[in-house]
């Protein structure tokens, strides 16, 4: 029993250490995540059915998308080299369910608190993790690789 706990704790620490070694993207790297991303996991909860998504436009430092209830958009700012934050602008539609309200509130909190972005792989899926002080969001890339703003002159 005791040996079993030691093995599990060691495994947990190794996995945690691996996750922490992944470097956060900087302002310069932001164009690497251009395009549309679907929110899959929020604070360890599967939230795919709420259909939240974010579009990154790295050169312009813009994000927009859907938080599960409302359209959102913002101009990103940086704090230090790897922390992004913004004041989100949002439509004011009612949420259909409590699950939609849960996702909407936490997406907005994450952006407001300031967040880091790391390229990660979870559940066998390549994606990005957006992490703030209180929330952890995992996104999967949707179709298309470029920002619509990249094609505009």
User: pLDDT at residue 88 above 70?
Assistant: yes
3-state secondary structure of 151: helix
pTM of the model: 0.79
**Mean per-residue pLDDT, 112-129:** 94
User: pLDDT at residue 54 above 50?
Assistant: yes
Long-range contacts of 147-153 (CB under 8 A, 24+ apart): 147/31, 147/34, 147/35, 147/55, 147/56, 147/57, 147/58, 147/59, 147/60, 148/55, 148/57, 149/57, 149/59, 149/60, 149/62, 150/34, 150/57, 150/59
User: pLDDT at residue 15 above 50?
Assistant: no
CATH 3.40.50.970 fits 24-143, yes or no: no
- pLDDT interval class at 53 (50, 70, 90): very high
DSSP state of 25: P
Where exactly are the structural domains of the chain?
24-143
Lowest pLDDT segment from 14-28, 36-50, 130-144: 14-28
Percent of the chain at pLDDT > 70 equals 79
């Amino acid at each position: 029993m005791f040996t079993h706990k030691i093995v599990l704790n060691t495994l947990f620490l190794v996995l945690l250490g691996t996750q922490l070694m992944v470097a956060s993207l900087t302002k310069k790297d932001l164009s690497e995540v251009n395009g549309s991303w679907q929110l899959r996991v929020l604070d360890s909860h599967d939230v795919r059915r709420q259909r939240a998504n974010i579009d990154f436009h790295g050169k312009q430092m813009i994000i927009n998308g859907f938080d599960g209830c409302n359209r959102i958009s913002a101009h990103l700012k940086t704090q230090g080299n790897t922390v992004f934050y913004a004041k989100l602008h949002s439509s004011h539609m009612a949420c259909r369910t409590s699950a939609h309200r849960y996702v909407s509130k936490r997406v907005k909190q994450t952006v407001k608190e300031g967040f880091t972005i790391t390229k990660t792989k979870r559940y066998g899926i390549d994606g990005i993790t957006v992490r703030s002080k209180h929330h952890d969001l995992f996104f999967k890339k949707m179709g298309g690789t470029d920002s619509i703003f990249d094609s505009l002159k």
